[in-house]
Amino acid sequence: MLDNRKIKSALLSVFCKEGLDEVVQYLSNNGVKIYSTGGTLSFIEELGASAQSVENLTGYPSILGGRVKTLHPKVFGGILARRDNPDDSKQLEQYEIPEVDLVIVDLYPFEKTLSSGASDAEIIEKIDIGGISLIRAAAKNYSDVAVVASRRQYAELLSMLKENNGGTTLANRKRLATQAFDVSSHYDSAIFSYFNRSERILSFKQSLHGATVLRYGENPHQKAVFYGNFASTFEQLHGKEISYNNLLDIDAAVRLIRDFDEPTFAILKHNNACGAASRPALLQAWTAALAGDPVSAFGGVLVCNRELDSATAEEVSKLFCEVVIAPAYSDEGLAILKQKKNRIILASKPFEPPMMQSRTLLNGMVMQEQDLWVETEKNMTFVTTARPTAEQVQDLIFANKLVKHSKSNAIVLAKDRQLVASGVGQTSRVDALRHAIEKAASFGFSLQGAVMASDAFFPFPDCVEIAHKAGIAAVIHPGGSVNDQKSVDYCNANGVAMVTTGVRHFKH
């Protein structure tokens, strides 16, 4: 096995020609024999370079509307032949098969066609057969053959050839082969996912191009990488490099704010809302959200669902925060926020998050549908004699949205569409409630007339009793406990309004 191999012959069959011209000119200038097909052949000839058609090599025309062009022993034999194997060399000579040292492919744009809303017939025609076969064959025989599997590698190949005087090293070829299998596996995963939308075969395959190495993971001693296209969901307008923990909070913030239609501001710490409010104007929402817990807000992630104006930015800028997220910023508002060098400022773009979420555990992983359910008044069952007022119904809806996005066990106390306090991530629902009540008192909030939301049912009436004695006037929870009636009885005896939704919102 020779390490450095001079490129003497190349097969080019690409969909995208952009950036290929420099590669073609280099190969032609260095006397490389070029084989090509269809549109790629025409492109090469228009550049003034010479190439032999694959049809001429194989003695067969392109058939079946172009579905079969390169699938022939005279093509694949020259790619797969082991140069240090005497029997392979004899067979190449016997069947007059030329060796191919370099294969350049760019596949049909299956994913782009799929996302364009094309018909099934059009999508099917964009499943590349010959190209993917060429990639796999060349990558398998990387000891002798170099392979380029995507237009993203044209420049890398050209640089590689220039560095090695028109050749490639074994290390070069192995790297190219690895990239090739990355391309082919991603391509096949996309095709499988397309077909599996209706079949629902229980097999998990996901492939994401694009990776960002993060400074570290949840803690400095942990390495971390983000796989995905962050730029398709946000435009970073200012600030330092985004960290692993920033990404977790940004994800939590975006999921929460999507549930609100009215002007809303939320402040998150460790994926939980520590402040949130909905108001007619964004500045009012910010002021009320911050008042909910000005201590925890320090160093938090801020998110809103309206353009962030200069007046609001002026107030926001008084708080040290890691990240600010808004759909847009006024010029003056952005300039104010940029005064802090490291503050991450993100403009959110319209995007649909994945319908499924996954988590690694034990020696595998679990998948589930996203919790996208949002309760409205129509989903409420009024189970007590006392009914919540119209204002309390709005507060119950507001509180229930927040508790849905809080770590279980979770209790949220709200009043006038403002997060008054919450107890999250507790092993006991009673502890979560007591923590919320104590927190509300520490910031001077009166709970008289406030509402309580719970992410799960109350197994005993102790929570509604504690809440009532603290001033809570209305309660929303899923219901479903065998002891539901005991909580209802306590509420009826004490004039507390209770509604159930039938939907639990555990979040672990």
CA distance 241 to 231: 13
Strand partners, 105: 13
CB atoms within 10 A of CB 502: 11
Cα 32 from Cα 339, distance rounded (Å): 57
Non-local (6+) Cβ contacts of 334 within 8 A are 237, 238, 308, 313, 345
E-strand spans in 108-169?
Answer: 146-148, 167-168
Q: Which SS3 state, helix, strand or coil, does residue 392 take?
A: helix
Q: Residue 139, Cα to own-chain centre: how many angstroms?
A: 29
Encoded amino acid at 216, one letter:
Y
Phi, psi values for residue 477, rounded to 5°: -155, 165
CA of residue 220 relative to chain centroid, distance: 23
Q: Which residues are catalytic?
A: 140, 270
End-to-end CA distance of the chain: 54
Residue 21, token pair as written in the block: 């011209």
Q: Which of 230, 257, 254, 232 is nearest to 242 (CA)?
A: 230
Rounded to the nearest angstrom, the gap between the alpha carbon of residue 148 and the centroid of all alpha carbons in its chain is 27
Instruction: Name the residue type at position 287.
Output: T
Q: Is the peptide bond before 409 cis (omega within 30 degrees of 0)?
A: yes
What one-letter code names the amino acid at 98?
A: P
Distance CA 484, CA 492 (A): 12
